[in-house]
Structure 1
Amino acid sequence: MRATPILAAAFAALLLSACQTSTVSAPPAPRPEQAAPGVTPSTFRMPSGTGCSGEVERFQAVMDNDLATGHTTKSVHDRVSGEISRARSTCSAGNDAGAISQIRATKTRFGYPG
């Protein structure tokens, strides 16, 4: 039995359509200075320093990073930053132990490790 030209054309069209693929573009890669949501950027560096000033600046850096990555809300960040500011003042006044105690109390109150 011989195939008709119409049947052959339909078969060829079917074969060719199986070879067609749709083009799907990948989402754009994040810019180098942007980390994925919820991820600390590779450029983050924990502040150094000793005594109460080091403790104050490190905890503020953690809070700022938590806000930037979506791990805390703006209202919590503002409340904690206010408490950190009070500890910074205590530290500047020369009360190292008092400032460190304030930072530890704030960390405990908001669920951060000591």
Structure 2
Amino acid sequence: MTPAKLLAAAFAALCLAACNSTQPAAVAEAPAIATRNVTPAGFRLPEGSGCAGAIDRYRAIMANDIAMGHVNQGVYATIEGEIDAAAAACSAGRDAQAVALVRASKARHGYPG
């Protein structure tokens, strides 16, 4: 075999070997694991009427959804801010406005009622 053919064969072998590199494959980060996957057996929505009852029930639903992993932390924080605004209106005696804020938040985030 001539030196040129030997060099060409070695070069071809190196090129093919590069295709079979053993670099580690990129691994996607695992999603956060929820602390539970079902609503607790004794879970009951808070009772109450008016804006305070509506706010308490929405907070309970959100606490359950974040614990189950049904909502991410960013969305949860947004909804908590909206609930806080409704609670402030409720505390100030603006019941109708507070209930409207809860309903708007639920509609915006896909919750019924």
* TM-score normalised to structure 1 length: 0.66
Q: 2 CA distance for matches of 1:38 and 1:85?
A: 27
**Root mean square deviation of aligned Cα:** 1.2
In the alignment, what sits opposite 2:109? Answer: 110
What is the rounded CA distance, in whole Å, between the counterparts of 1:99 and 1:37 in structure 2? 31
Question: How far off its partner does 1:45 sit?
Answer: 1.8
Segments of 5+ residues of structure 2 without an aligned counterpart are 1-34
- Count of matched residue pairs: 79
CA distance in 2, matches of 1:100, 1:43: 26
Which secondary structure state, in structure 1, belongs to the residue aligned with residue 48 of structure 2? coil
Structure 1: gaps spanning 5 or more residues: 1-35
Paired residues of 1:47 and 1:61 also in contact (CA < 8 A): yes
Q: Distance in 2 between matches of 1:78 and 1:38?
A: 21
Say which SS state the counterpart of residue 106 (structure 2) adopts.
helix
- For the 8 Å contact 1:39–1:69, the answer to whether it is kept is yes
Offset, 1:74: 1.1
What is aligned with 1:64? 63
Structure 1 ranges of 4+ moved more than 2 A: none
Letter aligned with residue 109 of structure 1: R
1:1-114 maps to which residues of 2 (within 5 A)?
Answer: 37-114=36-113
Percent identity, please: 48
Higher RCO (CA-CA < 8 Å; seq separation 6+): 2
Q: Report if aligned partners of 1:38, 1:71 keep a CA contact under 8 Å in 2.
A: no
Q: Specify the code of the residue in structure 2 equivalent to 1:79.
A: T
Partner of 1:30: none
What is residue 28 of structure 2 aligned with on the other side? none
